[in-house]
Amino acid sequence: MIEENGQFLWQQGSLIELTIDDLSDRGDGVGRYENRVVFVPDTVTGDRVLVRLLRVKRQYAQGKLQQILEPSPNRIRPRCIVADKCGGCQWQHIRDRAQHQAKENLLRQTLKRIGGFTEPPLAPILTANSPLSYRNKVTYPLSYGTTGQVQAGYYRKGTHQLVNLNQCPVQDERLNPLLAEIKQDIQQQGWTIYNEKTHRGQLRHLSLRIGRRTGEILLTLVSVDPHLCNLKQQAAVWMQRYPHLVGVCLNLNPRRGNAIFGDTT
């Protein structure tokens, strides 16, 4: 902690201890220090933490978790091995029931603040049967790794730096075997990966969708270029390799920007 004449300096780089007493609508923990609000990612209501202040304003600041001094009873070990890096999931470190309570509380606060409700009439949250393997559609950005290998995954929080994945615990587990193999096939075909800075390359995204009851899978490649060499042959290989794969689509998105899909498939 930085002090001057016995007074705490509310400035970037200061270290403070605080207790997280809420969660924001962005998923960050919310703590209070000397009547000021501090937002701290990767924390849980009930955590007592050591935090370094980053972006500092007069009445609030963004902080970075330095140390968990006393963990909340609602803190758990994430099921995903890259949960601390990947921006796909923000609350894997929070117990499921506590997540539901936090979401209900956020909705209640929003209805009170914006809707003008004194006591919003909320029905209980309908939850998935399992916190894992429930997502039946995934769309992965593609990029190159440091050694030139094709990567697919999710971006680190607040960046366009890709976290490479070969499986994801929240997507339908039947999709996991496809991910690593399709990346290898893209590499072997020599299809190039689109670079959003130079606007060169072909493939932008890989999308997989599975029917929950039927198990039927649809594979979609999002490309700048409509002419992918040997696409029909590779599609035939995929259809033979994966018995539940019922279609391979090519979506064209030549536009610059962050839109995932184009208008033509």
Report pLDDT digits (tens) over 221-252. 999 999 999 999 999 999 999 999 999 999 99
Q: Per CATH, which fold does 137-252 belong to?
A: OB fold (Dihydrolipoamide Acetyltransferase, E2P) (2.40.50)
Report the pLDDT averaged over residues 47-71. 95
**Tokens representing 180?**
């690593």
SS3 228: coil
Every domain range in the chain assigned CATH 2.40.50.1070: 137-252
Please tell me the predicted confidence (pLDDT) of residue 7. Answer: 52
Q: For residues 115 and 123, give the distance between their C-alpha atoms in angstroms, rounded to a whole number.
A: 16
What are all long-range contacts of 112-118, with beta carbons under 8 Å and residues at least 24 apart?
A: none
Band (pLDDT 50/70/90 cuts) for residue 1 is: very low
As a whole number of angstroms, the distance between CA 187 and CA 12 comes to 44
Contacts of residue 89, defined as CB under 8 A and 6 or more positions apart, other chains included, come to 78, 80, 83, 170
Average pLDDT, the chain: 92
In three-state secondary structure terms, 257 is: coil
Comparing 179-183, 200-204, 255-259, the range with the smallest average pLDDT is: 255-259
pLDDT > 70 fraction of the chain, expressed in percent and rounded:
97
Give, in degrees to the nearest 5, the angle at Cα 137 between 162 and 220. Answer: 75
Three-state secondary structure call for residue 52: strand
- Note the pLDDT of residue 129: 82
Global confidence as pTM: 0.84
Q: Which CATH number fits domain 3-70: 2.40.50.140, 1.10.3720.10, 1.20.1250.20, 3.30.470.20?
A: 2.40.50.140
Q: pLDDT class for 6, splitting at 50, 70, 90?
A: very low
252, β-bridge pairs: 223, 264
Confidence label for 8 from pLDDT (cuts 50, 70 and 90): low
Q: Where in the chain is the domain with CATH 2.40.50.140?
A: 3-70
What digits encode the pLDDT tens for the residues 73-103?
A: 999 999 998 988 888 888 999 999 999 999 9
pLDDT at 67 over 60: yes
